[in-house]
Amino acid sequence: MTIFVKNKHTLQIGEFKFRCSIGKKGSTINKKEGDKKTPKGTFEIENLYFRKNRIIKPSTSLKCIEIKKNMGWCDDINFPRKYNKLFKIDKKVSHEKLTRKDHIYDLLIPIKYNYKKPIIGKGSCIFIHLTKDYKPTAGCVALKEKDFLIMLKLIKKNSKIKIF
């Protein structure tokens, strides 16, 4: 099952269409760190990360990983070995903290963009995550919680996301 992000407001899986939001500056094939654009292309997806203290473990065939306070995703171009990877938070390394005060990372799935052998500065921390108001993201794809939970039931470990 492929997840299609057809435009900046529509995510489709099979017959299901959901409203979504993407990067503030749209989508691009030339993604750069901090450009507020969502990368175009077809990508694999990673595991589901969730906040056990805020949400019940959802029903999904994806591997579920509980988000801990010390978990971050590196966006620091000065640390090539950690760049665009999950890591234990180190104050010297710039990162996206997965335990946020807001609720957008209560559920998140990393998109495997610039993932296997990351190219420094080509973009990091591209996730499917939650939104309450569909405000544009810094480059991620965001859905309302009820739609995210439906999506989790539809997708499989080998599902891909295609962003136009």
pLDDT at 122: 98
Q: How confident is the model at residue 24 (pLDDT cuts 50, 70, 90)?
A: very high
Which CATH number fits the domain that encloses residue 63?
Answer: 2.40.440.10
Domain count of the chain? 1
Amino acid at 139: G
Section 112-119 average pLDDT? 97
Q: Are 33 and 79 in contact (CB under 8 A)?
A: no
Domain span at residue 111 reads: 2-163
Quick one: pLDDT band at residue 85, thresholds 50, 70, 90? Answer: very high
pLDDT for res 152? 98
Which residues of 8-117 form beta strands (DSSP E)?
10-13, 16-19, 27-28, 38-39, 41-44, 48-50, 64-66, 71-74, 86-88, 95-97, 107-110
What pLDDT is recorded for position 136? 98
State residue 10's pLDDT score. Answer: 97
Q: Are strands 27-28 and 38-39 parallel, antiparallel or unpaired?
A: parallel
Q: Considering the chain, what is the average pLDDT of its residues?
A: 97
The predicted-structure confidence for 118-146, as pLDDT tens digits, reads as follows 999 999 999 999 999 999 999 999 999 99
